[in-house]
Amino acid sequence: MRWALVLLCVSLMSLQAAPAQQPFAESARGTLRDLVPAGDPLAAHDLSFDATFAVQAIEYVRTGDAALAARMADLPAITHILAHAVNFAYDVPKDSRAALVTNLLSPQETKAERSAVCQASLAYFSGPMLADPHWVNDALRYLPADFRLRGALFLTFGYDIGVAFAPNASLNCTAPHFDHHPREVLYYAIHELHHVGFMTYQKPPKLADLKSCADLMKLVEYSTQLEGMAVLAAYQRRRDDHALADDRDYVALEDAERMQADLASYFKEYDALMSRGAQPADAAAWAVIERMSSGERLWYRVGAMMAQRIEAANGRAALVALVQRGPAQFLATYASLLPRPGARPAARGSEAPHPAGVAP
């Protein structure tokens, strides 16, 4: 067992030890390069696995050590979360690293429950997930061949479920989705590492800069390719592991009738933003983004369906090439697969009326 995995496991064991005098290992880091043989292609990537924030958060919940909380504010994981929060306008403190840590560790009444979920996530992250890290290839398979990971995958506490902001990504050890399903940590790691690669070629828009409905339409296009290809990247492993039913996006992808309805809803929303063009992005326009993302999750599911269709028709290499060509070409390529002018294919080969937004 190489040192990276040992270090993470030692940190976990120190948390589980009962005596108060047991030394606490504050750091939990390792590298992909140290987990694979020297000649392995993965050794070319400079990816680190860093669970330090999760380890320290669990210890803080156990002890209430204010000095430990203060040190947590200086962690690289907090730098990553803060950068993501600023770019994507998350509703967390963004002017104080200490305030951000306090926010992530709250609320007090759920700390113990969240800590238990985190410990299970940490055990999987530091054990089975790193015992054979070749799952990283699932993300790389849908990225250009010259791409190299050069950041960290953090295990964090209290922030979203998983996020990316190149060159780093993170997974929230307290996410309810991981409760009793720790293997989901691996599938979401594939998803977020694919995001890192995509963002390396296509810089994400900063939400504070989006002022018009046309700006939001471009955000929809970006997120459709970003999220759709990431959903697809984890699909094969989920299917092989009989884990499609454990995530609602994959349940939807396997439901032809549901996907046909989602496809129609997606283009209804997309075309509405397009029709408003330069009009200011008001509450109604931002509500479209809510439905596309955390609401009906249309850009995840429809984006994955588009990516599946492109790969099936043109091959994986053609789909991967679209990472560098960008979201507009991704949508145009999907539109080019229409069976006839004026029609857009729906899920699983069925047909749907052609909305006005993306003509072939």
- Percent of the chain scoring above 90 in pLDDT: 82
Q: Is 69 contained in some domain? A: yes
221 plus 256 within the same structural domain: yes
The confidence band for 27, taking pLDDT boundaries of 50, 70 and 90, is low
- Mean pLDDT across the chain, nearest whole number? 89
- Averaged pLDDT for residues 88-114: 90
In this predicted structure, which of 29-38, 109-118, 128-137, 298-307 has the lowest mean pLDDT? Answer: 109-118
- Chain centre to alpha carbon of residue 143: 15
The confidence band for 22, taking pLDDT boundaries of 50, 70 and 90, is very low
Strand pairing report for 162-165 and 29-31: unpaired
**Amino acid identity, residue 15?**
L
pLDDT for the residue 4: 43
pLDDT for the residue 262: 96
- Asked whether 15 and 59 are in contact (CB, 8 A), the reply is yes
Cα-based distances in Å from 340 to 192, 330, 335, 354, 360: 36, 19, 10, 10, 9
311 plus 213 within the same structural domain: yes
| Predicted confidence (pLDDT) at residue 12 exceeds the cutoff of 90 | no
Q: Is 325 contained in some domain? A: yes
- Averaged pLDDT for residues 129-155: 97
Q: What are the residues whose beta carbons fall under 8 Å from the beta carbon of 20, sequence distance 6 or more?
A: none
Residue spans of beta strands (DSSP E) within the chain: 29-31, 48-50, 152-156, 162-165, 168-172, 343-345, 351-353
Q: Is 360 contained in some domain? A: no
| Predicted confidence (pLDDT) at residue 25 exceeds the cutoff of 60 | no
92 plus 12 within the same structural domain: yes
221 plus 291 within the same structural domain: yes
186 plus 229 within the same structural domain: no
| Predicted confidence (pLDDT) at residue 356 exceeds the cutoff of 60 | no
Final residue in a domain of this structure, among 182, 201, 220 = 201
188 plus 333 within the same structural domain: no
Closest residue by Cα to residue 167 from 189, 142, 193: 193
d(CA 270, CA 253): 20
pLDDT for the residue 118: 95
pLDDT for the residue 11: 46
In this predicted structure, which of 170-174, 203-207, 284-288, 348-352 has the lowest mean pLDDT? Answer: 348-352
Q: 25: number of CA atoms within 13 Å, CB side? A: 17
The confidence band for 29, taking pLDDT boundaries of 50, 70 and 90, is confident
In this predicted structure, which of 104-113, 210-219, 264-273 has the lowest mean pLDDT? Answer: 104-113
Q: Is 359 contained in some domain? A: no
pLDDT tens digit sequence for 298-326: 999 999 999 999 999 999 999 999 999 99
- Chain centre to alpha carbon of residue 222: 14
Domain holding 153, by residue range, is 3-201
| Predicted confidence (pLDDT) at residue 329 exceeds the cutoff of 80 | yes
As a residue count, the chain comes to 360
| Predicted confidence (pLDDT) at residue 2 exceeds the cutoff of 90 | no
b/e code 204-235 from CB counts within 10 Å (16+ = b)? bbebeebebbbbbbbbbbbbbbbbbbbbbbbb
- Averaged pLDDT for residues 143-164: 97
245 plus 320 within the same structural domain: yes
- pTM of the predicted model as reported, rounded to 2 decimal places: 0.89
Closest residue by Cα to residue 233 from 129, 143, 340, 347: 143
100 plus 187 within the same structural domain: yes
174 plus 262 within the same structural domain: no
Phi-psi label, residue 352: left if phi above 0, alpha if psi -120 to 50, beta otherwise? beta
Query: What total of structural domains would you count in the chain?
Result: 2
Q: Is 15 contained in some domain? A: yes
Q: Is 358 contained in some domain? A: no
Final residue in a domain of this structure, among 201, 225, 257 = 201
pLDDT tens digit sequence for 49-99: 999 999 999 999 999 999 999 999 999 999 999 999 999 999 999 999 999
Which one is predicted more confidently, 8 or 149?
Answer: 149
217 plus 157 within the same structural domain: no
Residues linked to residue 155 through DSSP beta bridges, in sequence order: 171
149 plus 242 within the same structural domain: no
Final residue in a domain of this structure, among 149, 167, 201 = 201
Which one is predicted more confidently, 349 or 260?
Answer: 260
R_g of the chain, CA atoms, integer Å: 21
d(CA 310, CA 336): 9
- Asked whether 246 and 179 are in contact (CB, 8 A), the reply is no
Strand pairing report for 29-31 and 48-50: antiparallel
pLDDT tens digit sequence for 212-239: 999 999 999 999 999 999 999 999 999 9
In this predicted structure, which of 92-106, 124-138, 223-237, 345-359 has the lowest mean pLDDT? Answer: 345-359
Residue 12: its H or E element:
helix 3-16
228 plus 112 within the same structural domain: no
- Averaged pLDDT for residues 158-185: 96
The confidence band for 126, taking pLDDT boundaries of 50, 70 and 90, is very high
pLDDT for the residue 31: 95
